[in-house]
Amino acid sequence: MADGMSPEQARAALDRAAQVSRRVESRARSMKAYSLVNAAAWAVSILAFGFIESIPVRLVVWLALLVLPLVGVVSWYRRQPVTAVSPPRPRGGWVIYSWTMMVVYAIAVIVGQVADLYGEPLYWVPAAVVVAAPLTILALRLPRA
């Protein structure tokens, strides 16, 4: 079969393959939206932690800000018919960026609590920016939403 393949047939096969590839790739959704929603949710949740004085209200808002966006974006992502190729290097990018964010988050919360910085924007606003940074960087490295 291959013995009879002419340059024209090879070109036609290449064209068909490229066309199909492009069509499916254009439908692919990466983890860009997933990463950005989570980055924003974690950043806002640390602000809630730092600015809401009432402990029960703070816990409810804090949990809602972490859980609801995550459930929403996971559900959206799972419904996508095509998913883009995994995050860029470092390999396992999503896991590494997520763990970095969680470690930064934990440090920010502990420092804020130990140093009694509740309601202090000069601490919590930069902390929120730093917490959001890892997943925002991941999102910016991904090719498309």
Partner 1 sequence: MTGNHPRHELDELLMHPVRLSVVAALAGVERAEFALVRDTVEVTDPMLSKQVALLEGAGYVGVHKGRVGRRTRTWLGLTADGREAYGRHLAALRAIAGDAFTA
Compute the distance between CA of residue 65 and CA of residue 60 in angstroms, rounded to an integer: 8
Q: Which two tokens stand for residue 69?
A: 């966006």
Cβ neighbours around 11 below 10 Å, total: 10
Asked if residue 7 binds partner 1 (CB under 8 A), the reply is yes
Cβ of residue 22: shortest distance to partner 1, in angstroms?
8
Cβ of residue 49: shortest distance to partner 1, in angstroms?
33
Which is closer to partner 1, CB of 6 or CB of 54? 6
Compute the distance between CA of residue 93 and CA of residue 101 in angstroms, rounded to an integer: 12
Asked if residue 145 binds partner 1 (CB under 8 A), the reply is no
Give me the torsion for CA of 11, 17, 23, 24, rounded to 10°.
-170
> Which 24-43 residues touch partner 1, going by CB under 8 A?
24-25, 27-28
Contact set with partner 1 (CB under 8 A): 1-3, 5-7, 10-11, 13-14, 16-18, 20-25, 27-28, 78-79, 81-86
